[in-house]
Amino acid sequence: MKTKLFLLPILFTIGLTAGGAKAQSFSFGDLFGQQGKKEKLMAVQVGGIYIYLAALKGGYNIMHKGLDLADELKGGTFGLHTGYFNSLEQVSPVVQQNPKGKAITGLYNELSNRLNSETSWQKKQQQLKPAELAYLEKVAANLVKLAGQDMAELNELLTPGKLQLTDQQRLDRLDKLYAAMKDKAAFAASFAAKSRSLAQNRQRAKAENEQIRKLYGNPHP
């Protein structure tokens, strides 16, 4: 809009509105006297300067707004956002003191100790067949590995700077980890109990056979 205003006197001066020039009977000689040509050239040059200044001003405004935005991102809004995201990396006392964190660790230790103990006992008793013992060891190793992944996630959840989560998101994940670890611990207990029962039944069967042999003798020594 300002550029158009600057151009109006120049357009009038250089006689581009021909109809207007005839109606007023103006010429550059009448308007500027003897130096009409020089003044005409100057008028055109001044008009160009006005246009240049208007464009320059518009560019300056754009640049200034860009600098304002950059400054806002650097020290204003961006700083607030950065502070918010940094706060999400912190672990509040509400999360740290949640009893499920310790409960998950306790279930993991229980699961690991139970499976290790069962595997050692089975090897010592030698009641399982080689394939059965190998299966027991494989199941135990996989279960401990999966439970270890839950523990790694728990560690990230409770360590500041690891994850960007709200308190509620951390508590929700704690609930899921606790439920998952409970399931694994329950399965470990059931699996170990069945393995132990199988071995003990075989022990009893062998003991009974030995007792029968002693009572009735061995017909085929």
For the segment 37-64, what is each residue's pLDDT rounded down to a tens digit?
A: 555 555 555 555 555 555 555 555 555 5
Percent of the chain as helix, strand, coil, to the nearest 5: 85, 0, 15
Q: Is residue 42 part of a domain?
A: yes
Instruction: State how far the Cα of 4 lies from the Cα of 58, in Å rounded to an integer.
Output: 14
Structural domain boundaries enclosing 112:
91-216
Q: Tokens for 133?
A: 């013992």
Residues 100 and 160 in one domain: yes
User: CA 91, 95, 99, 103: dihedral to nearest 10 degrees?
Assistant: -60
Interval 199-218 mean pLDDT: 84
Residue located via tokens 């230790």:
109
Please say if the pLDDT value at position 70 is more than 90.
no
Residue with tokens 């329950």: 186
Residue 20 has pLDDT above 50, yes or no: no
Give yes or no: residues 115 and 170 share one domain.
Answer: yes
Question: In terms of domains, do 59 and 152 share one?
Answer: no
Q: Are residues 96 and 144 in the same domain?
A: yes
Question: How many structural domains does the chain have?
Answer: 2
Rounded to the nearest integer, the mean pLDDT of the chain is 75
Q: Side chain identity at 96, as an amino acid letter?
A: Q
C-alpha–C-alpha distance, residues 69 and 77, integer Å: 10
Assess whether pLDDT exceeds 80 at residue 76.
no
Query: Is the domain of 40 the same as that of 125?
Result: no
Q: Is there a single domain that holds both residue 102 and residue 211?
A: yes
* 221 within domain boundaries: no
> What is the C-alpha separation between 150 and 177, in angstroms, rounded?
6
Confidence of residue 7 (pLDDT cuts 50, 70, 90): very low
Q: For residue 186, is it within any domain? A: yes
Domain assignment present for residue 101? The answer is yes
Same structural domain for residues 99 and 39? no
For residues 136 and 122, the answer to whether their CB atoms sit within 8 Å is yes
The verdict on residue 149 lying in a domain is: yes
Q: Which of 49, 75, 101 is the last residue of a domain?
A: 75
Domain boundary among 40, 75, 110: 75
Q: Are residues 47 and 102 in the same domain?
A: no
Both 102 and 207 in one domain: the answer is yes
In this structure, the answer to whether residues 211 and 115 fall within a common structural domain is yes
